[in-house]
Amino acid sequence: MTANPLRPALRRTALAQVRRVTPVDVRSARLLVARVYREMERDFGVLAPPLALHSPAPELLAAGWLTLRETLVADGAAGRAAKEVAASAVSLANTCPYCVAVHTATVNALVRGHEAEAIAQDRFDDIADDRLRAVARWARDGAVRDTAAAHELPFPAEQAPELIGVTVVFHYLNRMVNVFLPDVPMPDGTPRAALPVVAKVLGTLMRRAARRPKPAGTSADLLPAAGLPADLAWAAGSPAIAGAFARAARAVEQGAREAVPPSVAELLPRLLRGWDGRPLGLDRTWLAEAVAELPPADRPAGRLALLVALASWQTDAETIDAYRAGAGTGADRTLIQLTAWAAFSAARQIGSWIPLADRSTAR
């Protein structure tokens, strides 16, 4: 890969966006973190802050990169434009303006016309390409259980692991971004007028990376092999994607054993089983009622986990500070482990209710 003279400045800008934890600097990165950073810049085009924020917990950095690479980035059956449209539509559904800005910029770099603008403004009827319009609607509507059930897959069965995988990855990443990154892909204090320039640069770099060959499965050895959980069965049609999610799920669960109190580990999955995907609103009565059943010492962790999973845009400094107060040493690592587990739990739940490929009418 030819050295990009902008690379050092882009790295600094990327890491400066991360809030509430201190990401590993590129110059001091070693072993697993260093390898993921290199692969990210090579295959994705940039050091992506939504992934770099995981670097205090290297196994979770690798998990995030593996699942993003194998679904969105690696060569496969579905085109990159459709996958970027799905990522943008999910991000819109999750009120994640950061990810909408980044991925509509990539759509704009890959597809002629005004498709990116239509997606960003939730005007899906204005998407000219029939296939991209159907993918956008499917991805956005899949965030809610009953509307997901009403949609058949608007693509051939062999594309399902990639496109369902993209939606699951972005239901996860949107939640992490809402907690740890600003609303736009620029460091705090940067003038908003600079956003179009930043979006153009990001779109150009990601488009160039998208054009280079990226064989599936070449990053699998970042994490140990594991069995695919039943709720991720939609990934089974692609060995590379199934392997990535199996490895990632194991890493997330191992992190949870370090950071998540047993009472919280029981509460959140139970609530997710009864959740329909709809936003819970600004009133936090639901949150107070849910954590009231936890032991007092576990309530800060429970409050944070439930917000990340069910209303990530409401996660505030007060909630994080309350958790940190009892987290002790290594608070950045345990904060990432807890929030990653909560976000991934919600994303897995959403993925489990998307109708599988055998209901697709596409041929």
Q: Which residues are catalytic?
A: 99
The secondary structure of the chain, three-state, reads: CCCCCCHHHHHHHHHHCCCCCCCCCHHHCCHHHHHHHHHHHHHCCCCCHHHHCCCCCHHHHHHHHHHHHHHHHCCCCCCHHHHHHHHHHHHHHCCCHHHHHHHHHHHHHHCCCCHHHHHHCCCHHHCCCHHHHHHHHHHHHCCCHHHHHHCCCCCCHHHHHHHHHHHHHHHHHHHHHHHHCCCCCCCCCCCHHHHHHHHHHHHHHHHHHHHCCCCCCCCHHHCCCCCCCHHHHHHHHCHHHHHHHHHHHHHHHHHHHHHCCHHHHHHHHHHHHCCCCCCCCCCCHHHHHHHCCCCHHHHHHHHHHHHHHHCHHHCCHHHHHHHHHCCCCCHHHHHHHHHHHHHHHHHHHHHHCCCCHHHCCCC
CB of 8 within 8 A of CB of 47?
A: no
From the CB of residue 142, how many other CB atoms can be counted at a distance below 10 Å? 27
Residue with tokens 């505030």: 316
| Start-to-end Cα distance in the chain | 38
Tokens of 216: 């599936």
92/118 Cα distance (integer angstroms): 11
